[in-house]
Structure 1
Amino acid sequence: MRPSLSQKMIRWFIPLAALAAFAGWIYIAPPGILGKADAVGYAVCHRIDERSFHIGDRQLPLCARCSGTFTSAAIGLTFLAFTARKKSGMPDKKFYIPFALFFLAFGVDGGNSYLYLLKQTTGALQQIPNLYVPNNTLRLFTGTGMGMTMATFLFPAFNQTVWRDLDPAPVFEKWTHLFALIGILLAMDLLILTESPIMLYPIALIGPLGTLSLLTMIFAMLWLMLMKQDNSFVYFRELWLPLLAGFTLALLMILAIDLFRLQLTGTWGAFPL
């Protein structure tokens, strides 16, 4: 079937919109490749200096928790792209307990850390004891578990939205696959904790790329549903337009948040405390 006039217009409009969004983001972002990574992190992370890892004196684009979250999400999505491909089933129910624990750990450590921050910066809530003194090691590990969980549930949801012929098999069927991914992410965390520049430079880029990947997939799913094109694709090469649309919307969201936060705070660094 020949594409309609509106479909032809969209095929031209999306690439032009992507170029415009990318150009606008490049224009406002700080210079250098790490500066561009900072501009992505700036949209999703508080970027508090003491809660981040550093390459020398330079803060990473994402804090310790967000570095763990979005780097593990990027690695998790890559892992599933090779091991699960078009599988659209959520993980088998036997895996829900570890994922629930990852989610709970993220919430508990995040809440405890935020309480500690409020006490430090405002003096409020001193009567509420902290469970423990928060630290970047726990932020990294709990963020990693959350990022893995996000990737594990987003990947099959994306497949459910995209493919015409669904593979109903769950993305995780065997414990060996889950433990393999956990082992990879644990090794990543241990290498990050060495704070070696050889490890931190790639993490400084992978984390923001993970952020863009998650947002691109989410917006691509929304685009397909709005365009009523869900469950209409057979080959990976057919996904270029919805993924480009998702990437464009992700960039526009990041650009809008960057401009708002920059106008509000006047700095590419952390929120003034």
Structure 2
Amino acid sequence: MMKLIYFMGRSVCHQIPERSFFILNKQLPLCARCTGIYMGVFLGFLYLFLRKRWKGNKPPSLKILLSIIFCWIPIIIDGVTSYIGLRESNNMIRLITGFLFGVFWPVFILLLKNYQVTKKNSLDIIKDYQDLIFMICILIPFTGILSVQSVLIWWMISGITVGTLMYVYVQMIFILIKNLFFSSYIKLLYFIAFIISAMIMSGLSWMNHHLLAQYR
């Protein structure tokens, strides 16, 4: 199971040890930035589910949209400035900027999934700034959990982040094939999306392992 988790995580992540968190001397399957992104995605989905926004289809207001884009700027600045050598980043910064980037993905995934062109879309996904603040503040307890040295915490974070990664693949491919074929066989489309996602992740993981290993 552990090998499978590392294999799936490698489909999107370089898994460089120096840029990853360790729990009980065991490296997490995603680097610090990717851990932040996909834990953010998971907690964003969880928040919207608990707030009963799962079927939301109303695009966010321009002010909310600009606020979300503003939260995406730190990961761009951190990535670019550290890549070109202007400064040295660290894993906590990578985690935080990754979280701010990922926690709002669910808003757009749900919008793509639920939006109906021919009908009135009036169900809010994000209502106001209070939602944005609550979603950002979820980062605080997560960073506390990440510091706990426990095998249970390792499995929890690894399972959630890699499972969320797979979930994002499936949802995006499901949205694509549903819009292409206009099929109402939802379960069949999800099954097809899962198979395609598994194939894509396997191919990317293989490429990462064999073609990019020299750059690690």
Structure 2 length-normalised TM? 0.88
1:69 to 37, 43, 53: 37
Q: Could you tell me whether the CA contact under 8 Å between 1:92 and 1:170 is conserved in 2?
A: no
TM-superposition CA deviations, 1:217-259 (whole Å, max 9, x none): 1000111122123xx5xxxxx6322222222111110111122
Gaps in structure 1 of 5+ consecutive residues: 1-32, 117-129, 233-237
Is 1:141 matched with 2:96? yes
Whether 2:81 is the aligned partner of 1:112: answer yes
Conserved? CA contact 1:91–1:172, under 8 Å: yes
Measured after TM superposition, the shift of residue 178 of structure 1 is 2.5
Match of residue 209 from structure 1 = 163
Match of 1:90 among 59, 62, 69: 59
Q: For residue 27 of structure 1, what is the aligned residue in structure 2?
A: none
Structure 2: how far apart are the matches of 1:76 and 1:255? Answer: 26
- Distance in 2, Cα, partners of 1:149 & 1:89: 15
Corresponding residue number in structure 1 for 2:211? 264
158 and 87 in structure 1: CA distance in 2 versus 1, 3 angstrom threshold: same
Tell which structure's C-alpha radius of gyration is larger: 1
- In 2 relative to 1, CA 188–48 (structure 1 residues): closer, same or farther, beyond 3 Å? same
Is the contact between residue 7 and residue 205 of structure 2 (CA under 8 Å) also seen in structure 1? Answer: yes
The code of the aligned residue for 1:73 comes to V
Counterpart residue number, 1:43:
11
Deviation string for 1:109-157 (max 9, x for gaps)? 11123224xxxxxxxxxxxxx1x32000100000001101222211211
Percent of residue pairs bearing the same amino acid type: 23
Q: Give the conservation status (yes or no) of the 8 Å contact 1:103–1:146.
A: yes
Task: In structure 2, give the amino acid aligned to 1:142.
Answer: T
Tell me the matched-pair count.
Answer: 214
Shift in CA distance, 179/247, structure 1 to aligned 2, threshold 3 Å: same
The 2-side partners of 1:112 and 1:71 are apart by: 24
Is contact 2:57–2:111 with CA below 8 Å preserved after alignment?
A: yes
User: Which deviations, in whole Å up to 9, do the C-alpha atoms of 1:7-37 show, x marking residues without a partner?
Assistant: xxxxxxxxxxxxxxxxxxxxxxxxxx22211
8 Å CA contact 1:41, 1:61 repeated in 2: yes
Give 5+ residue unaligned stretches, structure 2.
Answer: none
**Cα gap change, 1:195/1:139 in structure 2, threshold over 3 Å: closer, same or farther?**
farther
Instruction: Rate the CA distance shift 1:190–1:71 in 2: closer, same or farther, 3 A.
Output: same
For 1:205, give the aligned amino acid.
G
Deviation at 1:165, TM superposition (A): 6.6
- The aligned amino acid for 2:97 is T
Amino acid at match of 1:86: K
Structure 1 distance, partners of 2:15, 2:58, is 35
**1:166 positional shift:** 6.2
